[in-house]
Structure 1
Amino acid sequence: MDRMELEGTVSGFQERMSKVALFDPLFELRRKKQTDASGQPIDMMELGLLALLFFFEQKLLRNSRVGVKELAIYLLRLMEGKLQVDEAQGEELARDIIQVFRPASGKKREFAFYNWEACQPQQVHTSILRANAFDAKTGTQYYALDEDGLELVFATKEFYSEFQLSIHQLVLRKQLEKGEFQGALRQINEMRVDVESLQERMMKLEHEIKRSIVSEETLKRYSELLEDIYARLQRENDEFEELRQFVKETRARLYADNRPENRVRAYEYIVKIAGELEKVHAEHSGLLQQSMELKNQALYSAKESLYYTGLSSFNFEQDVAGLIFGLPLPLESMRGIVSPFMALQQSRNWSPLTLLAEQNISGIGEQEPREEGFLEAEDDGRELQYAARRSAFYMEIMGLLLQELERTPELELREFLNRLSEYGRQDWLDRRSFYDFWLILHQRSPVRAVGMDQRDDKTGLEEVFGLLGRKVLLVWEAVGLVETGTRYQIQNMKLTQEDESIGL
């Protein structure tokens, strides 16, 4: 270790000793020897901590009139049935505890030590209790927790260990903002120790879960604990991300610094800080992943353990058979005992809702495949093939229609359908597209040949209408429906053709 690293180990030595000084009153109480009426020793250190918790509770309740008598009553209620202490001795114990926390002289407690950072002896002063009020009529002095007393109460709680890593993250950010890169590097090393400690605690927790879960209540408690751990690790991970970004910005700022005397040393530190922070962040990310696996796997194993524990402890002869045959139970109770061991009732029923289900309406012997949906725009190949087949079919129909119109100037659709058998085209009546053709003619009436500028190759109808030449086909509705003898029927129509020069 070089000199700078040696100095880093003793950095903040006075502050650390001031934290140690907070616990000095408790150890002083422990050195006091007290016994109850039966000669059983009394641990004054434990009573001192109870006294701190009592004053803390009164502070939360905003009760300012707390003195020796109130503390004695509190301690006597706690010691009842455990120690043989009367009221007079209880007040004496309470008075001794208060005098240790707040000396009778009224001065703060003094704690001497040698400061290895400043290389000289020093003292720190602590004030656990302070005088709060005085009742002149009864001569009673009341006390309250001072700032050091509050810090001592918080230091004895697991709150510090749970959020120790978060505290280190905040301190690291402040050190980086102030440019204390050497202290920041040491802070990262302390964070690594915290992460390693968390890893050990997670492993112990995993074994404890598998070993200790014997009921649903315990399982629920551990589930909530794992949820809290995961949420805290997630917050710490977010803080790591912000710290990494902050270090990156600091490194860029130092790189752009024009003062070489300040830049070189600081830039070396910030590069080292960035590398060490990445390592700690990677270990912490693994810890976050481990908590997720623990949440899933350990709790699943615990549920299995509960299942097999219940299965092994279940005795059918004793728990079921003995209950049924040994007790004269009514029929309703008997049904409740037997029903868990019976299968669910099953029956085949027909629901009227099946009438609303999707129906298959394809005809028997239907030659043309039915299109169940719209053609998709991107499927150009299939669309063109379908259009080509339809165009060829429509050209056959149009050719036969024009042939009949040459024989008869005005023709009804009913007559045309009756003549299909003469041409051997009776099978057309079974095809849905045959009826679509007449609907298209009726919709486009008067029908003319399509010009070159109006052609659309995708429809396939241009060549069909091109058979008209200079003729115009007129289509309008006629009376009655045409029954084709198939599952299709169509409105009767009248058809005629005229020269385009005549007009409409």
Structure 2
Amino acid sequence: MKVGATEVLENYGERVSRLSIYEPFLKLRNKKERDNSGNIINLSSLGFITLLFFFENMIIRNKEVGANELAEFFHEINNGKIDLDIEGFRKLARKIIDVFRPPSGERNSKTFYNWETGEEETIYYSILKASKSDTKSNTQYYTLDEEGLELIFATKEYFSEFQLSISQLLLRKQLEKGEFVGALRQIDEMRLSVENLRDRMVKIKHDINRNIVSEEIQKRYGELIEDINIRLTRENEEFDELESFVKDTRDNMAYEVKDEKDKKAYELIIQIDRELDKVHSEHRKLLTESIVLKTTALEAAQESLYFMGLETFNFKQEITNRFISTPLPLISSQQLIKPFMFLEMNRSWSPTSVFERQRVESEKKIEKNHAFSQPVDEEMLDKFKEITRNNFKKIMEILLEILGNGNEITLDKVIEYIKLNQKDMLDERTFYDFWIILHQKSPILVDGGEEVHTGLLKDATELLVGKYKRLEVVELNNILEINNRFKIKNMIFKLEEL
């Protein structure tokens, strides 16, 4: 039986990208660095120690680690193996970090010939990434990036995709054995796995919006998101079982605390319960985000494909010109325009419509007026305006009476006064129209001449002439519920004296 080329070369590019993350170790091995005694320094081993150093700091949530901290760690574990002082280790740490993360800030890259696609391809990977910086001391701190974590996880002989599931299994075994200190450490590793998965999902979301240009690519991303969703669902179920197991263990230990050892173990199980709940909460958010990503992001990508097709499809050239300029048989013409025609519509009466709700109309015949509405009589309109101006004047008089020697008052205080003295005024729309129009016209310059004292507020503003030079009404945030009919926003009424 002959082996097929398709099977051998399947996912060749992905496999090369996984191998490429080990290339920084090859670069470190090829560097011929010597210590003060002339001995060659094994940089590849120090490079691996560097990754472990940053990984352990991620577990304890220490984000302030950079070249200086790494150099001090090298100096601490050296024990005379390498003949370098602290300054020499600082230069060494800087060189190792520069290999994992180039000084330019660009990601590491590898160009290779993809035997599966028959094209030259370039892949990018990042082992270390910038974490935070101290501008005062001009210090840059680092943390492991996605591929850096994958390298660390690979040393435990399993892939990063299953890191969380395996950590859950290890945590259960540690809890069953009563190894609570190790269990806390395992939870910290699980938290890092969740953070790594979140970064990966963000990257996938961006890739969906940027890279989907065909249905084949959309299908591939859809399968990827489906796999992530299934795995997150399974991990969430395991989290539920773990939390239930931890709570049962905690409740059982609460009745068995006898000495200091039992007390310390009980405190550890409480801390495990608290930390596990935090990790589970973050994991639940990821599960929700994966469901949203599955539904919204892929739908948006599908719509972008649709509109991309609309933009590239020229209706006039592809359909109209061909239909008009080229003589086509009747059947061919029908087939050409059929996708753009409506479905057949048949108007009919259904017997079931007799069971629908019926309109009940009055037996009395209402005479319908087919004439146009007549405009309001000018005399009636003038009379209405005069009444409104008088009403506004009365409201202004009440306002001035309440103010006395003051210069400002809020609407709620005015309403309290009116409720005690002229309650019926609050049932009339005129009162609220006064405040709305006053707010619209605000600010009003009282001594602005005849142009200011016009309209419905004419008589009201004339009361202020000679005493005040400016009126302003400012809206406040709260809403006043006056009665069953009226609500109005609170306002503040201000007067500025001459």
Question: TM-score by structure 2 length?
Answer: 0.40
